[in-house]
Structure 1
Amino acid sequence: MSDTTVEQWIYNLTRQYSFPIRPWDFDPSDPYAKAIDTFQSFTSRIVAALRHDDVRSWSLVQDGKLNKIYDDLPCFNTCTEYMKFRGWVKDATFKHPQRRTPKQHQWLCIVDLQESEPTYDIEATVIQAADYLSTWKKRAYAIENLMIDWPTQYFFRSKHAIKDAEEDGTDFGDSCWICANDFDADLHLPQRGPCGHYQCRRCFQKALEHAAAEYTCAFCRACLICGTNSCKNHIIPREEAPPHPLNDLLRWEHFVCPVGRCTAIEPLCGFSPKRYWSLREQSRKNRVRLTKIYWYLKQDLTPEHRAHVGEELDHLYNGILKAQVEQAWALQMEDEETERRATLREAVPLLETS
C-alpha cells in the first residue's frame, strides 16, 4: 500500500483493520480482547487525523509510516478472522520478546503506548510505533541473542503477574511459606503473586518450571498471571524438553553447506540474521522432539523399541529437519539474488553518468 492515498487509507483502516462487531463487549474480562480494543483506539485516532485533512495528516501517509504498522498484519474484520487474530495476540503475549515475530512485537508495543499515553500526539505516536521494528531487529538479530533458544513462556510482562515484594507495610514474615528458607536478596528474594500470597523467587520459579499448562498459586490456586480463580485465558502449552541447539545441528551435519563452500565455520552457518531467526523458530518443535529422542536412546530399551526410536530419529533428522534447513537455505539464496540485482540497478545510473 505504498502508493495509497489518504482516502484509500481511511477506507482500509475502517474496513480491513477495524472490528465492526466489537466482540470484546461480550467478554470484558478477556485480556486479549482488551488489548485488541486498545489497538482499535489507536487506529481510530489515525482515522480521525486523516479525516481532518491537513498537512500533518498527509505526513502520516508519506514515507511509508502507516505501511510499517499495518502491512502484513493479519486481517480481522470478520468473526472468524477475529478469533484467529485473538490467537495471534495470545501467542505474542506469552512469547519471550526475542521469540515474537517483528509484527507481534510492534503490535504489543503500540498497545502499551496507547494504554500509557492515549491522548499523545498521533503523528509522533505513529513515528514512534514505526520505529519499534528497527529497535526489535537490532536486539533480536544480534548474534549473541540468536544463539539462545529463549523460554516458551514470558510470564512477567503482565502488570499483575509475579512481582518483587515491596515494602508496603505487609507482614509476610522472614521466611518463605513454601520452603521455609529465610528471605534474602538472591534466590530467596520475597515475591508476591497477583493473588497476594508470598513465596521466594526459587519456589515461584519451580512452580513455573513444573506446571503442565495452568500456572497457579500453591496456596489458593489463583492464576499466577492475572490472579483470578478458574482462569481460562492463561492456559499455556508447555514444551516437554529443551530444543536441541540449532547451531550444533547445522555444524555437525553441515546441512547448509553448498558445493565448494563450508558454512560451519561462519557464526550463523551461512544464514543472515533474519533467516537464522526464522529457522530457529520454525524448527523449534522438531528440535524439542530431537532432544526427547536422544533421551529415549539413553534409556534401557528393548531391541524392538530401540529400532523404532532409531527409525523415528532418522525420519526427523534426515527428513523433516533437513527439509526445513534446505528450505531456509533456498530462501537465503533468493535474498542474496534480490540484493545482488538491487545493487546492479543502483550501479547502472552511475555507470551511465560516468
Structure 2
Amino acid sequence: MKAVVCKAWGPPDSLVVEDLPEPAPGPGQVRIAVRAAGVNFPDVLIIQGKYQVRPGLPFTPGSELAGVIDALGPDVAGFKVGDRVIAFVAHGAFAQQALAPVQALLPMPPGMDFDTAAALTLTYGTSHHAVVDRAALKAGETMLVLGAAGGVGLAAIEIGKALGARVIAAASSGEKLAVCKEHGADVLINYSDTDLRAAVKEATGGRGPDVVYDPVGGAYTEAAFRAIGWRGRYLVVGFANGEIPKLPLNLALLKGASLMGVFWGEFARREPQANLAAMLELLGWLAEGRIRPRISGRYSLEQAAGALADMAARKVTGKVVIVP
C-alpha cells in the first residue's frame, strides 16, 4: 500500500510517499481502507516534533479518517468487514490502509459521504468539548471566536449557533469573514485592520463576551482577554499563530474570569463515554443541518505535503482532506 512517511522531524516538504507492507490488525483492531483523511493543524506540528505527543520515527501522519473495514483482528466485536466507519487514531491516516482500535470507531450514518465523515472528529470534537463541556455556553450568551475561518473556528461558530448563542467571528481577511458569515456568525471583525479589543467592546455594548474561543494564541490573546466580560470563560484551544502567549493573571482576577484548557485528544482518551455522547450529539446536529463541515480542498497522497504547507500558511478555510 502507499503511505505518506515522516522519516525525520521537519517541514511538510520533507515528507515522502512510499510503498509499505499492508498492516495486519492485532487483537481488538480493524484495518480500514481509507477513503478520506482529515488534515489538521496538529499534523503540521507533529511532523516537526513540536506537538505534545511525538510518535517514533518513521511514522505516517494523520489522525482522523473515514473508510471501509477490510480486515478484522482477533477479539473484534460489533463491526464486520464492509462496514463504513469514522476513526480517530494516534497516527497513520495518510495512507491507503490504516489500523484502528475498535474503541476508536464510529459507524458512518447512512448517506454520509467520506469527505464529511473525515472532517468531523477532531475539529467538531474539539469545539464541542470546548464550547459545550468546558465553557457550558448557554442560549443568549455571546461568544467571540478567534481564527474563526479555520476548521475548529467554523465548528465553534456552528456549535455556538446550535446552542442559541450570539457569535462574534474574528479573522484576518474579508474573504475569511465571508465564510464565517455563511456558517452563521452574527458579527464580523477583521483583526488585521481593526483594534480587536475596541471592536469587541463595541459589538457587545461594552459588556464583553461571555466566552472567548482561542485556537490562535499570539498577540491577539491578551487583547481578547482584556475584552472579556464579567465571569467570562476563556478557552485555550491552540496556538496556530506559533506563539504561546503570556497573560498578566491580574486580568483574570479583575474580571472574575476563568482560563480553561482544551485538549480534546486527552479528553477522548480519559472520558470515552462522554466523548461518544458528544459525537452522537454532533451527528444528530449534522442530520438536522445545524452543522455542515466545509471541505475547501481535496489532495492526493502525493499532494499531502502541499496540504500541510497550506495549513501551516493559514491558507485553509474550514477543512481539507487527503483522498488516497
TM range (shorter): under 0.3
TM-score (ref. length: structure 1): 0.20
Comparing both structures, which one devotes a greater share of its residues to strand?
Answer: 2
TM-score (ref. length: structure 2): 0.21
Structure with greater Cα Rg: 1
Higher relative contact order (CA 8 A, sep 6+): 2
